[in-house]
Amino acid sequence: MGMQSPAGSPTCRTSSWRGSCGEKRLTMASRSGYWCMALDPLLQRKGPMAPTPRTATRFPQFLSLASVVATAVCAPAPQAWYGDGDWPAYGRDAGGRKFSPLEHITRENVGGLEVAWQWETGESPIPGPIAPISGQQVRPGNFEATPLAFNDTLYFTTPYNRVIALDGSSGETIWDFDPRTVEWGQPPNGTGFVHRGVAVWNGSDGRRIFLNTRWRLIAIDGATGEPIESFGHRGEVDLTEKLLWRTNRLHYTQTSPPVVFEDLLIIGNGVWDGFVYPRDPPGNIQAFDVRTGELVWSFNLIPQPGEPGNETWEDGSWDYTGHTNAWAPMVVDEERGLLYAGIGTPSNDYYGGHRKGDNLYAESLVALDARTGELAWHFQTIHHGLWDFDLPGAPVLLTVERDGDAVDAVAVAGKTGFVYTFDRGTGDPVWPIEERPVPLSDVPGEVSAATQPFPTRPPPFAKQGFTPDDLIDLTPELRRQAEELTAAYRFGPLFEPPSLAGTIAMPGILGGGNWGGAAFDPRSGFLFVKSSEEPSLLRIAPADPETTVADYGIDRGAPRTLRVSGLPISNPPWGTLTAIDMNAGEIVWQEAVGERPEVRDNPALGGIALPARLGVVAPPGPFVTAGGLVFLTGGSDVLYAFDARDGEVLWEGRLPAPGYANPMTFRTRDGRQLVVIATGGRDGGTLVAFGLPE
């Protein structure tokens, strides 16, 4: 049977199970006089979901005989079981703590780590095909996957979104699944094909591996690497099929793996940042049945008429504004059945004259009933966002001591440099969060928020605001150049708005925190978070009316980062790792992480004594172990092991290329603990495993 089309749209068939209805490919079928085309950004048909008083929309399950039989055979199926030696989810556990109970590698022996094996992606730029929109050569992005580990088998994605099953002991390939994602050309968004991993569901009928690539959700047999034909349409689901409106699928991306809860697969999406097309892809969170691929519920992150929060989108801007998406990893409180998601900025990122109001649920921490999609609570960390201050990292579930009581909390590190901490069940802040006045925008048509939320604890883990006193002063000449370069730009505190003249913003567009997120040690109560420490230039310019519904947008002719003699305009360190005592709400230690050889070798710094580590501006984050160690690269070509107690660097492992991924650890069938990190990617990626000598 062919794929069932939504009401009012053509039915499409392709020549391969991997084909997805609606994209221009080598072969396309027509039916009833319609061609299956979705390259036109003007395809804006309203989806089949009617607005309801609730933001979550539940969908009836229309089951075929085959799916009924499959359900009868499989149910009831337990959720994935795992042992201490496994790494079963992106953040290791459902709560995203990135804490491993393994302690074979300790403070005392970590200096003996050596390379156990390496695995090469074999991927490189392809001369064609050419992306219909961007016109770019097809090329891999960074290798950013964090492998999952079950019983000494690793599962991960490559920069071209292949899914690999690897023998954890030897590093040898078990199977290799290619979704042929490159056939639709280079994604026009800045991250390209970047992908950070898969999700795994273990049922009585076997293990399923789920890949979300671009607009497709694919179910793969964990034993064979073959698609599961009973899932969706011949093994895959179109993630855009039941969005609020028809969207150009080439603007719809996926970087973070889905979340598995019971028999549901919950997923957000990425977008093409910075542009404002009529009806950009909306940021719905969707839940699918893990066996059938049926959509179970969908939550509108831009509330529709009759839904709470719709009034925060003035002048009907809810009807055409996109983005406001959950592109970051999400986590689940399995006991409470609550999903926690950090949300991104609305369309355009830096200008909001076309979307006046606070714009819920943009840049909010949202808690949903994981079974139904109903809103439990939310907290907006940025009102009417203008700085691309997404909540980019996975929230972390933790328990903290407050006034002698144990509080089950959720914490999320923002690009702002703040950690926002709430009671998991009620959404009440663990420490007061104050609304404080902030500078107002003077860009024509812009109405910025008069106040923004400021957590009172913990203190910021990143520098906030930028003044002339913060300019680089490693030499008098560098200081002179920096003063001359920035003389025409605005300086100011945190939340100084983007401007026509250009605003130097700190944190910059990469944060503060980013998608690497934080790690939590439940024994010490310490939260570990990586930060980037370099300002960005936010300059606004009139927009092209042919490509956007906004009057203004970011000036794409202006540099995002400013340099003098090839150096940042701020002093080092440019990347740090911070340990925060979440019981006291205080910073315990902060250390630079990552090296900058190009800075150290810069002739403008000849004879200058520099710190041992300069720090790197990059998103990757850490994990922590029961052995008392924090591992991360920070985005450099060195994997570091820090002493979790005081931040001392106990080991450095040289990598074949910069490590842009979050590392992980697992135990092999022979009892050996390995630490694994993905490196490189643009000209070939390498997965590297370190272990103690056998």
Segment 360-404, tens digit of pLDDT: 999 999 999 999 999 999 999 999 999 999 999 999 999 999 989
Please report whether residue 531 resides in a domain: yes
Phi, psi of 198 (to 5 degrees): -110, 175
Name the pairing type of β-strands 99-100 and 623-625.
Answer: parallel
Q: Is the pLDDT of residue 28 over 50?
A: no
Please report whether residue 3 resides in a domain: no
Q: What is the pTM of this model?
A: 0.89
For 80-180, list the strands marked E by DSSP: 99-100, 114-120, 148-150, 153-157, 163-167, 173-177
Mean pLDDT value across residues 194-217: 95
Closest CA to 646 of 577, 588, 585, 575: 588
322, 346 contact by CB (below 8 A): yes
Please report whether residue 368 resides in a domain: yes
pLDDT band at 192 (very low <50, low <70, confident <90, very high): confident
Please report whether residue 134 resides in a domain: no
Residue type, 342: G
Instruction: Identify the helix (H) or strand (E) that includes residue 569.
Output: none
Greatest CA separation found in the chain?
Answer: 77
692, 112 contact by CB (below 8 A): yes
Whole-number Cα distances in Å, 48 to 8, 246, 284, 448, 604: 9, 10, 14, 34, 61
Higher pLDDT, 545 or 583: 583
pLDDT band at 611 (very low <50, low <70, confident <90, very high): very high
Residue 246's pLDDT is 80
Please report whether residue 540 resides in a domain: yes
CA–CA separation, 394 and 258 (whole Å): 12
* Percentage of the chain lying above the pLDDT 90 cut: 75
- In the beta sheet, which residues pair with residue 176? 164
CA–CA separation, 191 and 194 (whole Å): 6
What letters, b where the CB count within 10 A reaches 16 and e where it falls short, cover 178-203? ebebbebbbbbbebbbbbbbbbbbbb
> What sign has the CA pseudo-torsion 73, 78, 80, 82?
negative
Mean pLDDT value across residues 139-146: 94
pLDDT band at 247 (very low <50, low <70, confident <90, very high): confident
- Tell me the three state secondary structure of residue 365: strand
Mean pLDDT value across residues 233-238: 96
- In the beta sheet, which residues pair with residue 298? 57, 286
Most confident range (mean pLDDT) of 65-74, 601-610, 637-646 is 637-646
Residue type, 302: I
Whole-number Cα distances in Å, 415 to 167, 239, 461, 523: 37, 28, 10, 27
- Among the ranges given (167-171, 322-326, 497-501, 600-604), the one the predictor scored with the smallest mean pLDDT: 322-326
DSSP codes of every residue in 196-250: ---EEEEETTEEEEEEEETTEEEEEETTT--B-TTTTBTTEEETTTTSSB---GG
The CATH number of residue 516's host domain is 2.140.10.10
pLDDT band at 349 (very low <50, low <70, confident <90, very high): confident
pLDDT band at 179 (very low <50, low <70, confident <90, very high): very high
Residue 211's pLDDT is 98
Mean pLDDT value across residues 608-626: 96
Give the list of residues 6+ apart from residue 650 with CB closer than 8 angstroms, or none: 107, 110, 111, 629, 641, 642, 643
Residue type, 474: L
382, 435 contact by CB (below 8 A): no
Segment 395-410, tens digit of pLDDT: 999 999 998 999 999 9
Mean pLDDT value across residues 171-191: 88
Phi, psi of 480 (to 5 degrees): -60, -45
Please give the residue range of the domain that contains residue 293. 30-100+147-691
Please report whether residue 121 resides in a domain: no
- In the beta sheet, which residues pair with residue 207? 202
Please report whether residue 240 resides in a domain: yes
Residue type, 216: R
Q: What is the 8-class DSSP label of residue 54?
A: S
Phi, psi of 111 (to 5 degrees): -65, -15
Residue 676's pLDDT is 99
Phi, psi of 228 (to 5 degrees): -90, 105
Please report whether residue 65 resides in a domain: yes
Higher pLDDT, 322 or 94: 94
Which residue is listed with tokens 């639709």?
A: 184
Count up the domains in the chain and report the number: 1
> What sign has the CA pseudo-torsion 470, 476, 481, 484?
positive
Which residue is listed with tokens 């990617």?
A: 681
Residue 34's pLDDT is 24
DSSP codes of every residue in 108-129: TTGGG-EEEEEEE-----BS-P
Residue 16's pLDDT is 27
**Average pLDDT of the chain, as a whole number:** 87
Q: Which two tokens stand for residue 467?
A: 């003044």
Q: How many helices (H) and strands (E) does the chain have?
A: 3, 45
- In the beta sheet, which residues pair with residue 563? 568
- Tell me the three state secondary structure of residue 689: strand
Evaluate the omega torsion of the peptide bond into residue 458 and state whether it is cis, within 30 degrees of 0: yes
Burial (CB count <10 Å: 0-12, 13-18, 19+), residue 40 = exposed
CA–CA separation, 92 and 622 (whole Å): 12
Q: Is the pLDDT of residue 422 over 80?
A: yes
In 303-344, alpha helices (H): none
Neighbours of 453 (CB within 10 A): 17
Residue type, 444: P
Higher pLDDT, 25 or 473: 473
Segment 425-445, tens digit of pLDDT: 999 999 999 999 999 999 999
